[in-house]
Amino acid sequence: MPVIINGSAATLPSDPRVSLLDFLREGLQLSGTKKGCNQGACGACTVLVDGERVLSCLALAVQFDGRQVTTIEGLSDDAGLHPLQQAFIEHDGFQCGYCTPGQICSAIGMAAEAKRGLPSHVSADLTAGVTLTREELQERMSGNLCRCGAHNGIIDAIRETVAAEMAP
C-alpha cells in the first residue's frame, strides 16, 4: 500500500532504515520539512499524519503505508497561503525560518487536539473543556523550539488564527 503525501500516492522506500523525514526530503524532494536535531528534541520535522502532529525524524517511513501525510507544501494552494502562514508573516513569527514549517504543522495539529477537548499539562481542570489562553498555547507548542526567539510572534499568529476559531 502506498503512502499518501499531500494528496498524492508515493511508493515507500525499500530500506526500512529511512526515516519519514529523509523520505520526504531526499526521496520526494519535499524539502519544506526541516531536519533540525534529528533526535526528537526540536520539532522542526513536525508533519501531520491523518491530521495528528508527529515527529518525522523519529518515524520509520515503512510504518506509514496507507496513511495520509500532510507537510508544509500541502497547506497552501493556488489561492495563496494558509491563513496561519500569512499570520506568521504579519506577526514576525520567525527570523531564520528554519523552525517555521514545523511550527505551522504543529499549530494545526494542536488546534485539532484542543477542539476535541484534549487537556494539557497546564489545564486546571481535566474535563472542563479547553480555552486556548496564552499559557495553554505556550505549553501546547513547547515541542517546537525557535532558536531565534520568535516565540511571542508565533503565539500571536496562532492566537489570531486557529485559536480564534475556537473562541466562544
- Binding residues for another protein, rule: CB under 8 A, are 16-17, 19, 38-40, 43, 46, 52-55, 58-60, 62-63, 106, 109-110, 113, 116-121, 123, 126-127, 138-140, 142-144
Of 77 and 116, the one with the shorter C-beta distance to another protein is 116
Residue 81 vs 148, nearer CB to another protein: 148
CB of 4 to another protein, least distance (A): 18
Q: Which is nearer to another protein, 47 or 157 (CB)?
A: 47
How far apart CA 26 and CA 40 sit, in angstroms, is 19
Name the nearest CA neighbour of 35 among 92, 124, 102: 102
Q: Which residues contact 143 (CB under 8 A, 6 or more apart)?
A: 43, 46, 55, 106
Cβ distance to another protein smaller for residue 83 or 143 = 143
- Least CB distance to another protein at residue 125 (A): 10
β-bridge partners, 9: 4
**What number of other Cβ atoms are within 10 A of residue 19's Cβ?**
20
Helix, strand or coil, per DSSP, at residue 8:
strand
Q: State the minimum distance, in angstroms, from the CB of residue 14 to another protein.
A: 10
Q: Which three cell numbers stand for residue 143?
A: 515541542
